[in-house]
Structure 1
Amino acid sequence: MKKISVPSLWLMIILVAFPQISETIYAPSLPDISSALHVSSNATQLTLSIYFIGFALGVFCWGWLSDLIGRRPAMLWGILIYGIGSLLCYLSTSIELLMISRMIQAFGASTGSVVTQTILRESVAGHKRHAMFAQISAVIAFTPALGPLIGGWVDQAFGYRAVFFTLIAMSIGIFIYAFTALPETRTVTTINKINVFQVLKRIITDKKVIAFSLLIGGTNGILFSYYAESPFIFIEYFKISPGLYGFLGIIVALASIVGANISKRLLPIYKPEKIIYIGCLVMTVGAIVLTTIILNGTSPNVFFATAILAAVFIILLGIGVALPNCLSLALVNFQDVIGTAGALFSLGYYIVVSLITWGMSQIHTGSLLAMPLYFLVLAFFMTIACRIFIYPSRLEKAISFKI
């Protein structure tokens, strides 16, 4: 059998990271977009939820197509559609057109997530795969922060439309890089085993896979809900500039990087399942701390803002510890249909992300307390789900064995 080519690590990082940059790059522009298009802040936050709806549809389409036409063609077509969507965002003159354009943009961008993960899962195995997911997670932890940093300064200097022009240029560069450097990793064996409904049945009857979907969707939902809500907290309440807001993202992203590195160092000591549980506990503690700080906050000063960032740091630290292991373990029993399984699995957890970011837009009232309470509820239920389905206690294991 022909040996599968392993793509460049940097190419994999870029392909899996650009969708996150596209999601967060215009977060600092949300207040400006509300003003320019004469709509409420809730409506502009909905463009983030819409993004994940398009993303969820896209991951299913591109994951399935990657089994049929190959990983490389699916990636290139997706990047092309992403570029078209970015152009339409630039040309949008109403919130309705912007939402449609964001869906198209997200539909194309999703290929970077699902196809890249498929390539990694089929070209790298075992402990090396866990370590590579952790390494990639540590590097791309900067991407949600890089987006606001770039977007904040571009918006401040040239206006929010220039942010979408930046994405057009980025799509061209990524397409050229992928076209020249991305090998095909799909095998003939994969082509002959595609049955979407059978794969779907296997997934929905696997309790662990469902739990992983909820955990991955939940952690990403918290992350992107933060980027949806935080511009209104820091730019409107604390009165900082969009450019300075972008720098705050770097501080917060360090938490994800540290968390991913901790996860990698814990792998020789603990099983990945236990590391996931540790990450969930850290998230919950961080949400409790954030809620407590805001309940006791007084006025929009630098000490209050710093305390909020410190609590968010703890939450994202937990995400950085848990997420790489969730991604690595989720589909270990689906190697025979990894493209289609990855498509269905990603569809599920991005629907969760979309619902959570939509929920954030619905409870947005201008109150600082909305976000921490929302995060606390989400982190608590994810910890419980992890304890039941991913890392059960000895007592639960014994009861399950007897049954």
Structure 2
Amino acid sequence: MNNNINKISIPLAVTLLMFPQIIETMYSPALTSIKTHFGVTGSTAAQGMSVFFIAFAIGVVFWGRMCDIIGRRYATLIGLILFISSAIITLFASTFTLLLIGFGCCAFGAAVGSVCTQTILRDCYQGAELGRVFSIIGTSIGISPIIGMITGSWLTVNGGYKWVFIGMIILTSGLLCWSLLQLPETKPTQTQQDSLLSVGTKMLKDLHIWYIMLMVAIFNIALFSYYSLAPFMFEKLYVSIKLFGYTSAVLALGSILGAMLNMRLLRRHVIAQTIITAASIILLISSVSVYLLQTSIWFFLPMIFISLSFGLALPNLLSTALNNYRDHLGTAGALLGLFYYLIIGAGLHKAAIVGDLGITLIVCAILAITLTLFHYINKTVSIRPAR
């Protein structure tokens, strides 16, 4: 832990980290309204989710680099201002293409909530303490799908997608005011100014980084494929979009339980990799259950365990990701985010084309277990003494 900097308040850190997920889940219920308003197909409307993550990935690398150049506080404030401006423009988009461009700009600005806040937390905490902080935050931000989906559903039902963007503008304006008043600057006075290329080259040669970015992407694709595909599944079953919003409570419960279980396991000194392996197995079992139930309204129930596996795996993956990159946390965090958000965007794009939630989840689970196995074998070989 760095004792020479002002620490961010946990409530503000939680809210900033919740911010991108709230925005994304607010948009999800509006997909049916967008489809109707612009006269596009469901799969075309769902592409907005992949655009969000791809633009978010670009934003992560840009704002992460800005964290090391202009500081964590200024990067965050500018990103929030950019989001508000982009959301206002998107509100008046006359075509679906312009809406996608505007929403992509929103995602670019929203990336500060992830990369800048994680950089600030890594400035303040290290090691097991950082893992516990991520778990505490994970428990708190588990409610973000409830806030986003219920709010987005209510706004969509009462005013269509335009009300959703108005809600985003109001929410972000409040967060900007809070950040102006309380967000500290935690950038160390002495940091290495390595180039983006040199840090990126180092990371791409690091097998541990590849494992982290692929696993983070897989668990995110598994969770967020529900948000991009489920609205149309509910529509096909002739169920109100309001119920889709209420299912957010199921996913939130799973995420909260996963984060709480993770904290308990860490207190008992269970190895992080053991927890990640268990999360991968839970993901596989839950994915098969979703596949078997997806022709009925109850397909959303096994998603609680998909969300639980997410809450178990993510804190352990993210807290150990950049242990060897502390001299350039902003840049390394930006590149890590770029790598896994690009994979998430591509994965969600493919999921939208396939249009089958169960198949998407099963593929994610098989990949997670395969990667975990390869990681274990590689680690075993690397620590085996030479003869």
TM range (shorter): over 0.9
Change (3 A) 1:123 1:47: same
Question: What aligned pairs does 1:291-330 form with structure 2 within 5 A after superposition?
Answer: 291-294=291-294, 297=295, 304-306=296-298, 308-330=299-321
Offset of residue 53 of structure 1: 1.3
Deviation sequence 1:340-372 (CA, Å, 0-9, x none): 0001000001001101110111112xxxxx111
2:380 maps to what in 1?
A: 397
Query: Which AA in structure 2 matches 1:126?
Result: G
Q: State the TM-score, normalized to the length of structure 1.
A: 0.92
Offset of residue 47 of structure 1: 1.0
1:264 maps to what in 2?
A: 263
Identity among equivalent positions (%) equals 31
Offset of residue 398 of structure 1: 4.8
2:196 maps to what in 1?
A: 196
SS in 2 for 1:194: coil
Residues in 2 aligned to 1:245 and 1:46: alpha-carbon distance in whole angstroms: 19
Query: Which AA in structure 1 matches 2:229?
Result: E
Offset of residue 59 of structure 1: 0.3
8 A contact 1:146–1:250 mirrored in 2: no
8 A contact 2:83–2:107 mirrored in 1: yes
| Alignment root-mean-square deviation, CA | 1.6
8 A contact 1:70–1:186 mirrored in 2: yes
Query: Which AA in structure 2 matches 1:96?
Result: T
1:162 maps to what in 2?
A: 163
Deviation sequence 1:47-77 (CA, Å, 0-9, x none): 1111111101100000001100000000000
2:131 maps to what in 1?
A: 130
Residues in 2 aligned to 1:376 and 1:9: alpha-carbon distance in whole angstroms: 35
Residues in 1 aligned to 2:49 and 2:110: alpha-carbon distance in whole angstroms: 14
Query: Which AA in structure 2 matches 1:157?
Result: N
Change (3 A) 1:240 1:339: same
8 A contact 2:221–2:364 mirrored in 1: no
8 A contact 1:19–1:113 mirrored in 2: yes
Residues in 2 aligned to 1:396 and 1:70: alpha-carbon distance in whole angstroms: 36
Offset of residue 2 of structure 1: 7.2
Offset of residue 270 of structure 1: 0.8
Residues in 2 aligned to 1:105 and 1:399: alpha-carbon distance in whole angstroms: 43
Offset of residue 237 of structure 1: 2.3
8 A contact 2:87–2:169 mirrored in 1: yes
Change (3 A) 1:311 1:189: same
Offset of residue 188 of structure 1: 1.8
SS in 1 for 2:186: coil
Deviation sequence 1:139-185 (CA, Å, 0-9, x none): 11221232111010111112221110001111111110001100100
8 A contact 1:218–1:353 mirrored in 2: yes
Query: Which AA in structure 1 matches 2:236?
Result: Y
8 A contact 1:131–1:264 mirrored in 2: yes
Offset of residue 402 of structure 1: 5.4
Give the gaps of 5 or more residues in structure 2: none
Deviation sequence 1:293-350 (CA, Å, 0-9, x none): 34xx5xxxxxx323x1222112221111111111111111111110100010000010
Query: Which AA in structure 1 matches 2:366?
Result: F
Residues in 1 aligned to 2:227 and 2:123: alpha-carbon distance in whole angstroms: 32
Residues in 2 aligned to 1:208 and 1:178: alpha-carbon distance in whole angstroms: 34
Query: Which AA in structure 2 matches 1:360?
Result: A
Deviation sequence 1:234-263 (CA, Å, 0-9, x none): 2x1232222232111112211111011111
1:11 maps to what in 2?
A: 12
Query: Which AA in structure 2 matches 1:54?
Result: A
Query: Which AA in structure 1 matches 2:270?
Result: Y
8 A contact 1:286–1:312 mirrored in 2: yes
SS in 2 for 1:270: coil
Mean Cα deviation higher: 375-384 or 194-203? 194-203
8 A contact 2:145–2:251 mirrored in 1: no
8 A contact 2:80–2:112 mirrored in 1: yes
Query: Which AA in structure 1 matches 2:359?
Result: L
Change (3 A) 1:81 1:396: closer
8 A contact 1:280–1:319 mirrored in 2: no
Question: What aligned pairs does 1:176-191 form with structure 2 within 5 A after superposition?
Answer: 176-190=177-191
8 A contact 2:60–2:112 mirrored in 1: yes
Moved over 4 A (4+): none
Offset of residue 193 of structure 1: 3.0
1:248 maps to what in 2?
A: 247
Residues in 1 aligned to 2:260 and 2:174: alpha-carbon distance in whole angstroms: 29
Offset of residue 32 of structure 1: 1.6
Aligned residue pairs, count = 384
Query: Which AA in structure 2 matches 1:33?
Result: I
Change (3 A) 1:149 1:399: same
Residues in 2 aligned to 1:29 and 1:108: alpha-carbon distance in whole angstroms: 20
Query: Which AA in structure 1 matches 2:250?
Result: I
8 A contact 1:29–1:242 mirrored in 2: no
Is structure 2 residue 323 aligned with structure 1 residue 332? yes
Residues in 1 aligned to 2:89 and 2:46: alpha-carbon distance in whole angstroms: 18
8 A contact 2:50–2:348 mirrored in 1: yes
Offset of residue 396 of structure 1: 6.7
Question: What aligned pairs does 1:4-403 form with structure 2 within 5 A after superposition?
Answer: 4-190=5-191, 192-234=192-234, 236-267=235-266, 268-294=268-294, 297=295, 304-306=296-298, 308-364=299-355, 370-389=356-375, 392=376, 397-398=380-381, 401=384
1:301 maps to what in 2?
A: none
Offset of residue 400 of structure 1: 6.0
Residues in 1 aligned to 2:50 and 2:212: alpha-carbon distance in whole angstroms: 21
